[in-house]
Amino acid sequence: MASWRVSPNLALNQLVAARQANGESIVHLGFGEARLPAFAPLVERLIAGASRNSYGPVAGGPAAREAAAGYFSRRRMPTSSDQIVLAPGSKPLLMALNLVVSGDVLIPKPAWNTYAPQAELAGKKAFGVPIPPQAGGIPDPAALRETILAARALGRDPRIVILTLPDNPTGTLATPELIREVCTIAEQEDLLIISDEIYRDVVHDPKAPFISPAELVPPRTVVTSGFSKSLALGGWRIGVARFPDGAWGNQIRDGVVSFASEVWSTLAGPMQEVAEYAFNEPPELRQRLADSARLHGAVARAVHQIMVDAGATCRPPTGAFYVYPDFEPVRNKLSLLGITDSDSLRQHILDEYGIVVLAGHLLGDDFGALRFKAATSMLYGDTAELQQLALDSADPTRLPHVRDVLTRIEEAFTKLCA
Amino acid sequence: MASWRVSPNLALNQLVAARQANGESIVHLGFGEARLPAFAPLVERLIAGASRNSYGPVAGGPAAREAAAGYFSRRRMPTSSDQIVLAPGSKPLLMALNLVVSGDVLIPKPAWNTYAPQAELAGKKAFGVPIPPQAGGIPDPAALRETILAARALGRDPRIVILTLPDNPTGTLATPELIREVCTIAEQEDLLIISDEIYRDVVHDPKAPFISPAELVPPRTVVTSGFSKSLALGGWRIGVARFPDGAWGNQIRDGVVSFASEVWSTLAGPMQEVAEYAFNEPPELRQRLADSARLHGAVARAVHQIMVDAGATCRPPTGAFYVYPDFEPVRNKLSLLGITDSDSLRQHILDEYGIVVLAGHLLGDDFGALRFKAATSMLYGDTAELQQLALDSADPTRLPHVRDVLTRIEEAFTKLCA
Quote the mean pLDDT of chain B: 95
What pLDDT is stored for residue A1 in this prediction?
40
- B117: cis peptide before it, omega within 30°? no
Cα torsion B201, B206, B208, B214 to 10°: value is 40
Residue contact B265–A50, C-beta within 8 A: no
Compute the Cα dihedral for B224, B226, B231, B237 and give only its sign: negative
Does B51 reach chain A within 8 Å, measured CB to CB? yes
pLDDT digits (tens, 9 = 90+) for A358-413: 999 999 999 999 999 999 999 999 899 999 999 999 999 999 999 999 999 999 99
Q: B5 to chain A: which residues are within 8 Å by CB?
A: 258
Strand partners, A375: A322
Quickly state the pLDDT bin for B330 (edges 50, 70, 90): very high
CA angle at residue A318 from A314 to A324, to 5 degrees? Answer: 30
Confidence of residue B4 (pLDDT cuts 50, 70, 90): low
**What distance in Å separates residue A25's CA from the closest CA in chain B?**
20
Instruction: Among A43, A234, A384, select the one facing B55 at the smallest CB separation.
Output: A234
Q: Do A55 and B88 touch (CB under 8 A)?
A: no
DSSP-derived 3-state class of residue A177: helix
In the prediction, which pLDDT does A16 show?
81
Report B:255-294 residues touching A (Cβ under 8 A). Answer: 255, 257-259, 261-271
List phi, psi (to 5°) of A363.
-105, 15
| Shortest Cα–Cα distance, B71 to chain A (Å) | 22
**pTM of the predicted model, to two decimals?**
0.95
Of B52, B252, B261, which has the smallest distance from its Cβ to A10's Cβ?
B261
10 Å CB burial of residue B401 (0-12, 13-18, 19+) is middle
Q: Which residues in chain B have Cβ-Cβ distances shorter than 8 Å to A13? A: 55, 57
Verify cis geometry, omega within 30 degrees of 0, for the bond prior to B400.
Answer: no
Is there a contact between A266 and A58 (Cβ–Cβ < 8 Å)?
yes
Spatial contact of B82 and B60, defined as CB atoms under 8 Å apart: no
Phi first, then psi, for residue A147 (nearest 5°) are: -65, -40
Closest CA in chain A for residue B57? A14
- What one-character DSSP code corresponds to residue B338? T
- B210: pLDDT confidence band, cut at 50, 70 and 90? very high
B216 touches chain A (CB under 8 A): no
Which residues of chain A neighbour B101 with C-beta distances below 8 Å?
1
Nearest CA in chain A to B113: A262
Residue B254: its chain A contacts at CB < 8 A? 4, 6
Q: Is A262 helix (H, G, I), strand (E, B) or coil?
A: helix
Tell which residue, B103, B320, B68, B73, has the closest CA to residue B194.
B103
Average pLDDT over residues A330-355: 96
B236:A53 CB<8 A: yes
Mutate to test the interface with B, among A14, A44, A54, A115 (most CBs of B within 10 A): A54
Direct distance between the N- and C-terminal alpha carbons of chain B, in angstroms, rounded to an integer: 48
Q: What integer is the mean pLDDT of A45-65? A: 94
Instruction: Say whether residue B295 is in contact with chain A using an 8 A CB cutoff.
Output: no
The pLDDT of A332-349, averaged and rounded, is: 97
Residue A169 to residue A327: CA distance in whole angstroms: 16
pLDDT band at B13 (very low <50, low <70, confident <90, very high): confident
Alpha carbon distances (Å) from A402 to A23, A390, A395: 20, 8, 10
CB contact under 8 A, A1 and B100: yes
Cα of B259 to nearest chain A Cα, Å: 7
Contacts of B51 in chain A (CB under 8 A): 37-38, 43, 384
Q: What is the DSSP letter of B319?
A: B
Predicted pLDDT at A267: 98
Q: What is the pLDDT of residues B221-253, one digit of tens each?
A: 999 999 999 999 999 999 999 999 999 999 999
**Can you tell me the distance from the alpha carbon of B164 to that of B176, in angstroms, rounded to the nearest whole number?**
13
Q: Give the distance from CA A245 to its chain's centroid.
A: 25
ipTM of the complex: 0.93
Closest Cβ opposite residue B91 in set A5, A255, A263: A263
Nearest residue in chain B measured CA to CA from A9: B261
How many other C-beta atoms lie within 10 A of the C-beta of residue B81?
17
Distance from CA of B17 to the nearest CA of A (A): 10
More confident: B15 or B122: B122
Distance CA A361, CA A373 (A): 10
B271/A58 Cβ within 8 A: no
Rounded to whole angstroms, the Cα distance separating A221 from A242 reads 9
Query: For residue B63, what is the DSSP state?
Result: H
Instruction: Supply the pLDDT for residue B6.
Output: 66
**Which pLDDT value is given to residue B5?**
65
Task: Answer whether residue A44 shows pLDDT above 90.
Answer: yes
Cβ pair B53:A89 closer than 8 A: no
SS3 B104: strand
Distance from CA of B212 to the nearest CA of A (A): 25
**Distance between first and last Cα of chain A:** 48
Range scoring the smallest mean pLDDT among B7-21, B173-187, B265-279, B345-359: B7-21
Mean pLDDT of A324-352: 97
Which residues numbered 353-382 in B keep a CB inside 8 Å of some CB on A? none
- If you measure CA to CA, which chain A residue comes closest to B260? A6
Distances from the Cα of B226 to the Cα of A109, A334, B91, B116, B196, angstroms: 40, 52, 10, 20, 10
Q: Which residues of A touch B159 (CB under 8 A)?
A: none
Q: Chain A residue with minimal CA distance to B89? A: A264
CA-to-CA distance for B39 and B198, rounded, in angstroms?
Answer: 18
pLDDT reading at B22 higher than 90: no
**Chain A residues closer than 8 Å to B37 by CB:** 51, 53
User: DSSP string spanning A139-150?
Assistant: --HHHHHHHHHH
What is the pLDDT, as a whole number, of residue B12?
A: 76
What pLDDT sits at residue A18? 81
Inter-chain contact B264–A89, Cβ cutoff 8 Å?
yes
- B102 interfacial to chain A (CB closer than 8 Å): yes
The pLDDT value recorded for residue B16 is: 81
Provide the pLDDT confidence category of residue B2 given band limits of 50, 70 and 90: very low
- Residue in chain A lying closest to B34 (CA): A54
Is the confidence at residue B11, as pLDDT, over 50?
Answer: yes
* pLDDT tens sequence across B303-329: 999 999 999 999 999 999 999 999 999
Return the number of other C-beta atoms located less than 10 Å from residue B412's C-beta: 18
CA–CA separation, A129 vs B232, rounded Å? Answer: 48
Q: Please provide residue B212's backbone torsions phi and psi, each rounded to the nearest 5 degrees.
A: -95, 145
- Cα dist from B163 to A71, A115, B105, B144, whole Å: 44, 34, 11, 12
Tell me the nearest-neighbour CA distance from A47 into chain B, angstroms: 6
**Range A207-230 average pLDDT:** 97
CA distance B15 to B350: 12
Sign of the Cα pseudo-torsion (A91, A92, A95, A100, in order): negative
- Look at residues B332, B270, B328, B322 and name the one whose alpha carbon lies nearest to residue B299: B322
Residues A285 and A303: beta-carbon distance below 8 Å = no
Look at residue A2 and tell me whether its pLDDT is greater than 60: no
B262 contacts A91? CB cut-off 8 A: yes
Query: In angstroms, how far is CA B125 from the centroid of its own chain?
Result: 21
Residues of chain B with pLDDT > 90: what percent? 91
Select the residue of A92, A101, A123 nearest B1 (Cβ to Cβ).
A101
Q: What is the pLDDT of residue B44?
A: 96
State yes or no: pLDDT of B1 exceeds 50: no
DSSP β-bridge partners for residue A226: A239
Q: A105-163 pLDDT, tens per residue?
A: 999 999 999 999 999 999 999 999 999 999 999 999 999 999 999 999 999 999 999 99
Q: What are the phi and psi torsion angles at B341 (to 5°)? A: -155, 180
A389 Cα to chain B: minimum distance (Å) = 17
Q: Is the pLDDT of residue B3 over 60?
A: no
- Roughly what angle, to the nearest 10 degrees, separates helices B283-310 and B384-392? 90
Chain B CB contacts of A38 below 8 Å:
50-51, 53
The chain-wide mean pLDDT, for chain A, equals 95
HEC string for B225-259: EECCCCCCCHHHCCEEEECCCCHHHHHHHHHHHHH
Mutate to test the interface with A, among B4, B15, B259, B391 (most CBs of A within 10 A): B4
Residue A6: which of B101, B114, B257 has the nearest Cβ?
B257
Is 80 exceeded by the pLDDT of residue A165? Answer: yes
Q: Is B325 helix (H, G, I), strand (E, B) or coil?
A: coil
Q: Distances in Å between the alpha carbon of A154 and those of A118, A121, A148, A192?
A: 21, 20, 10, 20
B99, A121: Cβ pair inside 8 Å? Answer: yes
Contact A197, A224 (CB under 8 A): yes
- What are the φ and ψ backbone dihedral angles of B267, each rounded to 5 degrees? -70, 140
Contact of A340 with chain B, judged by CB distance below 8 Å, is answered with: no
Whether the CB-CB separation of A60 and A389 falls below 8 Å is answered with no
Nearest of B228, B396, B164, B382 to residue B303 by alpha carbon: B396
